[in-house]
Structure 1
Amino acid sequence: MNKTELIKQVAERASLSQKDATASVQAILDQVTQALAQGVSVQLIGFGTI
């Protein structure tokens, strides 16, 4: 699954517009990226730890 596919699935499952789903997914990815850049472990329950 790539980012575009993820956005589509989020939009469908959460009844969001593509624009709102894109903003939501991007906000999450930005936060995860920022945390990892700061050396913080990111744990997503049911998904894994990176």
Structure 2
Amino acid sequence: MAIKQGEPAFEKFLSQTVSDWNKTGYVLQLETKYHIQHSKFAEDAHKAAK
């Protein structure tokens, strides 16, 4: 994701949100829900965030 420079509060919020998604496996859950094969990126991010 890209954000406009000079938006530190939004950058922090987005960073924390994506970190939470990785920790909880949210992206993997969405891939499963919508019958999408799990991406290597999402699997690796989830493993790294545990």
- Under TM normalisation by the shorter chain, which class is it? 0.3 to 0.5
Looking at secondary structure, tell me which structure has more strand per residue.
1
Give the TM-score normalised by structure 2. Answer: 0.44
Q: Which has the higher contact order (CA 8 A, sep 6+)?
A: 2
Give the TM-score normalised by structure 1. Answer: 0.44
